[in-house]
Each structure stands twice: as structure tokens, then as C-alpha cells.
Amino acid sequence: MGSSGNFFVAGNWKSNGTKESVSKLVKELNSSKFPSDVDVIVAPTFVHLPYVVDNIDSRYQVSAQNCWVGKAGAYTGEVAPEHLLDLGLQWVILGHSERRSLLKESNEFVGDKTANALAQGMKVIACIGETLEQRESGQMYNVLDGQLSGIADRIADWENVVVAYEPVWAIGTGKVATPDQAQEVHAYIRKWLADKVLPKVSGATRIIYGGSVNDKNSAELAGKEDVDGFLVGGASLQAASFATICNANAKVAA
């Protein structure tokens, strides 16, 4: 494994779930098994956060999928880090490709949100990744550089940051980066952190892969040196599949 931290698996439920389905999923997750040295995070919608915090097993950590760029106040419709902390949350996902593309969140805005969340005491899963057009036109590394710089220019301490590489062309499409493609980019990100931030940050920061991860491909991906875990979308809504993914690194070690 590339980093010195625990293997890290986060389930992003996106804008899915009803009271009934979330209750069922939590019950099934509570009876799932995974190694104690794997950090497992689930990220429900804002409206389901209180239920999940109150009912999910303490082996899981709970994350929000987004938060506001500043402190609480007169910002209708926004949820600030203080609100998340008040619920007992530690984690928030920021810069997800769907927010970058659909809500036009810029590299700078994602960086500002990351800095604000960290300053308020949150831990951040910071997402980066290129589109198929950007990859095929040779712009991939420029895109990743800009996304990483947007964060690195605004924070000094990376201790509470997990970087999620999610090639946009592999999210929800059924396409998945090959293990070698994932490893190539993860190694690039790790070198970028060593060169542009600090070698010790590069060695300590977990870099996780997101993009159509499922129970069939997770073990092979987990076997790559610089893949420190996963950001899981659709498969995280199926407890059995998610449990298999949470055990992917144990299968590699065995």
C-alpha cells in the first residue's frame, strides 16, 4: 500500500434513499464484517444523516457529501461544517466530479471549501479526476495539476485529507480504469504531493480510487501499490457488495 495509513473505503450514497431503504441498508451494514484495520465511511444524503449517525454501528464513520464554503449564517439552503460537527460527523466529501460539472464548482472554490472544512475541524475526502475528452486530448495531467493546486495553495496541513482520484469517464458508466491505469495516476499524484507539498505528506496521504468500483474488481485494484482504498458509488447501496469491497485489501494480503 502506498500510504502508511489504514486501507480506506468510503460509500457515497449520492442523492439516493428513502427512510425505508436507508433503514434496511443500515441494518444490513451493521451485520457486515470487515477487518478492524480498515477505515469504513458511509455518506448518506443530508436528510438521512441524523438517522444514520444514530443507528449505524460504531465501526463505521459517517460523512456528508458536501458542505458550505464558510461558517454558518445567512446562507439559505447551505449546510456549514459546524452543523456537521454538531451531528457528530468527522468527514465530508468535497469536489466530487458531479459537483464540479453540474454545479460548476471551480478548483479554487473546492480549495476554499476544503480549507474551511479543515479549519472548522472536519476531515476531507477531496476528489479530483479528468473527463474522457481531457484524457484523450493529453490534458489529463494538466487537469489534475490544477485540481490539486486548488487545494494545495489553500491548506498547509494534509493530515486530515484523503485524496480520491475518480476518472469522470468511469463514474456510473460501468467503465472502470484498469488497475494499471489507476496505479499510474495514483503514482503521479503521490509524486506530485512529494514535489509540490512535502515528501512526508506524500507518504502519509491516502489516495483512493473511485469510478465504478464493485465487488468483482476491487481486489485487483487494491493490489496496486498506490491504491489505498476506494470511493464507492452504486455498489455502496448494496450491503453485500460493499462488504466485499471493504474486505478487498484483506484478500490481497492473504
Q: Is 48 a catalytic residue?
A: no
Nearest to 232 by CA among 245, 223, 216: 245
| Catalytic site residue from 98, 130, 166, 186 | 166
163, burial (CB in 10 Å: exposed 0-12, middle 13-18, buried 19+): buried
Catalytic residue among 48, 96, 105, 186: 96
Active site residue 96: yes
Tell how far CA 141 is from the center of its chain: 20
Hey, which residues are catalytic here? 96, 166
